[in-house]
Structure 1
Amino acid sequence: MMIDNRLCGSWDMISNDNFEGFMTALDIGFAVRKIAVLLHQKKVIEQVGDIYIVKTLSIFRNYIISFKLDQEFEEYTRGMDDRHCKSVVTWQGNKLVCTQEGEKKNRGWAHWIEDDKLYLELYCEGEVCKQVFKRINS
């Protein structure tokens, strides 16, 4: 199955609701949370063959994940909460959804396009962070 190629490209964050609540659910420390909520994130989504690469970039930390759809993989959330989990990314309707199994419950994310914007929901143990990005024209 192919990724919705409208997701591919570079995106600038325009809103970030409840990021601190999400990070608290991940047990991320106070100082890092205070820095992270102030950062302007960029998202880059690429497809190389059947591998998908999602980059979350900021001046503080970068997080890069690569995966094949519908194939479980070992993920190390280095630079976020530094945990190991088993992850799988699938299409659910119009959403690219990642489920992360590990020591944190109900953890994962979903990306989708709506009204020419990229939406991302990050969730963990009942906390939901909602982020919205606009495409960067290059």
Structure 2
Amino acid sequence: MPASLCGTWDMISNVNFDGYMSALGISVYLRKIALRLKLRKVIEQQGDQYIIKTLSTFRNYAISFKTGQVFEEFTKGLDNRHIKSTVTWQGNKLTCEQVGEKKNRGWAHWVEGDKLHLELHCDGEVCKQVFKKNVNE
């Protein structure tokens, strides 16, 4: 059984976020703003339903899904695309494949020790983010 991803997590590192956003076609202006943000992840599980919220002072984004089921996702406020997403467990990683206009798009979350890792990929670009559990949890 994989480690629980649930909790509130604060970003401590963010590698190649600009390259990833560029691959998504996000404007230089929005990329400059996004690169300054310290993101917070809130991950909840209610039965077989997951809710992942990405929070910042600029914009928030949330998705809700059941693993193994295809769902329609609108990446409002990110790159504003309609995609079909499927989230599954692959070993200890919660992975998402996103099918749409951009090739080889998706992400993976996993826990190692006291850190939450997130790898975002799109069209050959990979962004690696690391989060530490919020001490006020």
Q: Give TM-score, length-normalised by structure 2.
A: 0.96
2:28 is aligned to 30
Structure 2: runs of 5+ lacking an equivalent: none
Alignment-mate amino acid for residue 66 of structure 2: K
Amino acid in structure 1 at the alignment position of 2:53: K
Q: What percent identity do the matched residue pairs reach?
A: 68
Structure 2 Cα separation of the partners of residues 132 and 102 of structure 1: 26
Partner of residue 76 from structure 2, selected from 75, 78, 99: 78
* Cα separation, 2, equivalents of 1:79 and 1:9: 23
Once the 2 structures are TM-superposed, how far is the Cα of residue 98 of structure 1 from its aligned partner? Answer: 0.3
- List 4+ stretches of structure 1 deviating above 6 A: none
CA contact (8 A) 2:102 2:122 kept: yes
Q: Deviation digits for residues 24-72 of structure 1, max 9, x if unmatched?
A: 0000001000000000000000011221000000000101000000000
Q: Measure how far apart 1:82 and its partner are.
A: 0.2
Of residues 87, 96, 102, the one that matches 2:100 is 102
Inter-partner Cα distance in structure 2 for 1:49 and 1:115: 24
* Aligned partner of residue 61 in structure 1, secondary structure: coil
Question: TM-score w.r.t. structure 1 length?
Answer: 0.96
Per the alignment, residue 124 of structure 2 pairs with 126
Distance 1:92 1:5 in 2: 13
Gaps spanning 5+ residues in structure 1: where? none
Partner of 2:88: 90
